[in-house]
Amino acid sequence: MTDIALQRAAIDAEIEGLTLVGVLERTVRERGTEPAYSDRRLADGADDGRGWRTVTWAELVDRARELAAGFLDAGLAPGEAVAIMASNRIEHVVADIATVLAGGIPVSVYNTLSPEQVAYVAGHVEPRIVVLETADHAARWSVVLAEKSTVSQVIAFGTAFDALTASADADADADADAAGSVAVAADVRVVTWDQAASDGAVALAHRHAELAARGEAIKPDDPITILYTSGTTGRPKGVVLTHRNVWFEAAVSARKAHLDGPGISVSYLPFAHIAERILGLYIPQLQGGHVHLIDDPAALAPALAEIRPTRFFGVPRVWEKIRAGIGAKLAAEPNAAKREAVAQALAIGQAYVESTQTGQTTSPELRARFEAVDGPILRPLRAALGLDRIEWASSAAAPMPVEIARFLAGLGLSVYDVYGMTETTASATAGGPDAFRLGTVGTAQDGIEVRIADDGEILVRGPITTPGYHKEPTATAELIDPDGWVHTGDVGELDEDGFLRVVDRKKDIIITSSGKNVAPSNIENALKESPLIGQALVIGEGRPYLVAILTLDGETAPIIARRLGAEGTTVAELAVDPAILDAVAAVVAATNARLSRPEQIKAYELLTEEWTIGGEQLTPTLKLKRKVVISRYEDVIADLYQRGRTA
């Protein structure tokens, strides 16, 4: 057998026959009294003394079994979907588990999908039950709920329930006025979470045997979820993932990262995103870890400082902001001796972490120098971020700029980049203690094949690849070729040791009018190395040269502005301040000096606003929505090319 076949056989033996039902039974048996999930929804539960609501593994599964029995009463048949639009909270996890226990398929839906996209997803997956949290969610589902007769129950939290019942009351009043006296009844499908939980507890008494039978009927190759893409490049597609997909991925990821036993982690990305499902649901369920649920990514920084997780996954933008914040504060430090001491410690930390890369060695002298600065300088810096207990740190969702990785190395953090997509159940390659090389996304996971096609596209094959898109045979055939290779749509390079470097999205590669191929993400990442720059978009497809649209970083730009003597405090004020404009010009010039001539920015515009998820310029994982931004700033782009080369 080949090495890959042996690896695959070992993992297959480890997860043989596993479904979520068996995984949870084992975890409850071994760690039932230990904490499973915590959130800060104190209005809905008891404070555990730290300002958090916490459930143990036994409590979590008990609640899920009760809700699952209620789902049976509501008419959920095996294989039917439950759609969940909610933030990261305990109820979201309970609803997800309950759906599987009842033989259904949980579908976490991005909170940012438009009503039209929600209608498409609902029409495509046809949920029997819908779970909603807020009035905004209710508004996004209102048309579906008014038209979708297949929905038998809507479970609503506070503001969602108020919005749905207020809407029903308003309709009833309108109908009463029209009829003269008789009002229609409110939508009887809508119940509160508490009512659904209470009804489920009653239902469990007479549904116990049926619920057990549903669980026993689940097979490893059955769907464990369907994840719909965020819809930024067209209609959302539903990626089917099986129990075997996720337990193979969870097992190989834990093995690569040396994650043995439960950890303490933070969940802040949407559960509609595959990375969060693996790290916030499936690996903790497999190992019995303790997950702290954050309902707003803006609250991540203070939560980290309080929780001090042992495991942390940050999308590149999170790591960029950490680097920018530390860099700005150090630059503003008035004590020159202190600045120099920190700078020297960071240099030693970077050298030490770089020496731990595959193929390199750490000398005793370097180890001693690192230990000398780690305790008094680097560890306090990590502690200020809440990262002083980190055993494993990682990044994915987009390529990590290598300079950001080097800066984090200076803090004494080895941040392991991973690469994958929803269609590969998250990571197909990963870095780890035994496979670490800065500037790469590691090597193939055990049992997974990765190769580069003739046109540079990254191809993946193995037990983590989706069986296909839900009800999309044509799209599935375009994704998976007859030999079983998933065509990722990314361009990459494999080195002689099997480390993968991702160049860019195949569709994002810019071909200028002179025929030069340019990867825009490399240039954008170089620009964002400055703590001044929050976001950057490079444009140039079919054009004679490249231009860029830039935004300031709302957190660090004011810190730098004070050092430069700028008077403004808001992004809008700073974006027109002469001192800031000069500083941004210097950033562009310094970036251009590192780039080849075809890659250089010849003109740019600094906007007076930031790009956000709410503003729809960023995805829920803080990636740039290129088509949206280009469309929104067509006039700015046209003006950049009209005014000619200015950078």
Given 460, 490, 506, the domain boundary residue is: 506
Inter-residue contact 227 to 238 (CB < 8 Å): yes
Q: Tell whether 499 and 610 lie within a shared domain.
A: no
The tokens 């990442």 sit on which residue? 525
- Cα gap 501→509, rounded to integer Å: 15
Nearest Cα to Cα of residue 600 among 645, 560, 559, 554? 645
247-to-159, 265, 266, 287, 465 alpha-carbon distances in Å: 36, 19, 20, 11, 12
- The whole domain housing 441 covers 314-333+372-506
Angle at 568 between CA 567 and CA 569, to 5 degrees: 125
Q: What pLDDT, on the 0 to 100 scale, is given for residue 156?
A: 95
96 lies in a domain?
A: yes
Nearest Cα to Cα of residue 322 among 247, 395, 264? 395
Phi, psi values for residue 162, rounded to 5°: -60, -45
594 lies in a domain?
A: yes
Q: What pLDDT, on the 0 to 100 scale, is given for residue 177?
A: 44
Q: What pLDDT, on the 0 to 100 scale, is given for residue 644?
A: 67
What's the structural domain count of the chain?
3
Given 185, 218, 251, the domain boundary residue is: 218
Q: Tell whether 613 and 539 lie within a shared domain.
A: yes
Q: Tell whether 434 and 568 lie within a shared domain.
A: no
* 195's tokens: 């009512």
Q: Tell whether 560 and 489 lie within a shared domain.
A: no
Q: What pLDDT, on the 0 to 100 scale, is given for residue 323?
A: 86
Question: Which parts of the chain have pLDDT scores under 50?
Answer: 43-47, 171-185
Residues 6+ apart with CB under 8 A from 395: 313, 314, 315, 316, 319, 405, 415, 416, 417, 418
Sheet holding 392-395: strands in order across? 311-313, 392-395, 415-421, 426-430, 443-444
Residues 6+ apart with CB under 8 A from 335: none
Nearest Cα to Cα of residue 21 among 285, 208, 259, 268? 285
* 427's tokens: 């990571």
Angle at 444 between CA 241 and CA 503, to 5 degrees: 95
153-to-129, 272, 299 alpha-carbon distances in Å: 5, 21, 32
User: The domain spanning residue 522 has which CATH number?
Assistant: 3.30.300.30
User: The domain spanning residue 74 has which CATH number?
Assistant: 3.40.50.12780
Phi, psi values for residue 534, rounded to 5°: -85, -50
- Cα gap 536→646, rounded to integer Å: 17
Q: What pLDDT, on the 0 to 100 scale, is given for residue 332?
A: 77
